[in-house]
Amino acid sequence: MKYNSILLKMVAAIIALILSGMASSTIAQDKVTLKVVKADSEETAGEDGKAANAVDGDPGTIWHTQWQDTNPEHPHEIIIELSQPCRISGFTYLPRQDDSDHGNIKDYEFYVSNDGDDFGKPVKKGTFENNNDKQTVTFDAKQCRFIKLKALSEVNDLAWASAAEIGIIETASAGDYIKVEIKGTLETGLMAIGGETTGTVIHVKNVTWELDLGGSKELQESATKLNKKTVLLTGTYQKIKGVEIRERHIIKVATLNPAGDN
């Protein structure tokens, strides 16, 4: 009897390990997308130079400041919103890829912001190379929701600014996280949440959270030992894109301890 129960526990632990591997292999972080929220000027009559072209992923389309009826002077600026707050360590500027250099930015300032209003001082100032290669500018990582590229001058000292694509460089630890401390009932074993199978969950009142034990043997052992028990755990909350359901709410566990039975 005793031997059987030990064997069962070992099998359960192995299943939990396999499931945690399956769960982490089917998840993918939300990709950050960019949206232009403001540009001081855009040419939409003489050509399709709308600001949104700077983030449409197509090197063949450009943002270009007005040139048909009026030629507003520098500085020019474009403000871009990220689909989620992000840690970035730089940005990229792809000049227009046709045979013109009109609007190619020479001197620039780059800003970041959390609210889209207060951009403070530039995180970087510089001068782009005078060619149409993609230019990458890096700086110490900054958390932000908005970026602003300000053009101070043009390669031929003309009035315009243009861009084929503007992008961001996300740092490895991209995205926001929320630290959590949860007391609830742990459950390990094969179960389904909205069509997804998962290995370990915690029930708190009527809410069930998926747990990511990060492949830690120690945490797996604790989870097996604490099955159906009241536990206190700490970790970080993440929203992850699911395969069968749109969003999965997952707690990446840092510590897992018994909280006394009740």
Q: Map tokens 């998962």 to a residue.
A: 198
Q: Does 162 bind Ca ion (CB under 5 A)?
A: no
Q: How far is the CB of 14 from Ca ion (least distance, A)?
A: 50
Q: Per CB under 5 A, which region of 60-68, 113-121, 127-135, 139-147 contacts Ca ion?
A: 60-68
* Out of 30, 56, 176, 221, the residue judged to bind Ca ion by CB under 5 A: 56
Q: Does 53 bind Ca ion (CB under 5 A)?
A: yes
Interface positions, 67-126, toward Ca ion (CB under 5 A) = none
Nearer Cβ to Ca ion, position 27 or 52? 52
Q: How far is the CB of 54 from Ca ion (least distance, A)?
A: 6
Q: How far is the CB of 126 from Ca ion (least distance, A)?
A: 22
Q: In angstroms, rounded to a whole number, what is the distance separating the alpha carbons of residues 177 and 172?
A: 13
Nearer Cβ to Ca ion, position 54 or 251? 54
Q: Which residues pair with 192 in a beta bridge?
A: 197
Q: Does 176 bind Ca ion (CB under 5 A)?
A: no
Q: In angstroms, rounded to a whole number, what is the distance separating the alpha carbons of residues 54 and 65?
A: 12
Does the N-terminal peptide bond of residue 75 adopt cis geometry, omega within 30 degrees of 0?
yes
Q: In angstroms, rounded to a whole number, what is the distance separating the alpha carbons of residues 129 and 239?
A: 40
Burial of 39 (0-12, 13-18, 19+ CB in 10 A): buried
Q: In angstroms, rounded to a whole number, what is the distance separating the alpha carbons of residues 20 and 213?
A: 7
Beta-carbon-side half-sphere exposure of residue 147 (alpha carbons within 13 Å): 30
Q: Does 220 bind Ca ion (CB under 5 A)?
A: no
The two tokens of residue 217 are 């043997």
Q: How far is the CB of 185 from Ca ion (least distance, A)?
A: 51
Say which DSSP state 73 is in: P
Nearer Cβ to Ca ion, position 51 or 256? 51
Q: Does 221 bind Ca ion (CB under 5 A)?
A: no
Name the closest residue to Ca ion (Cβ): 61
User: Residue numbers of the site for Ca ion (CB under 5 A)?
Assistant: 53, 56, 58, 61, 164-165
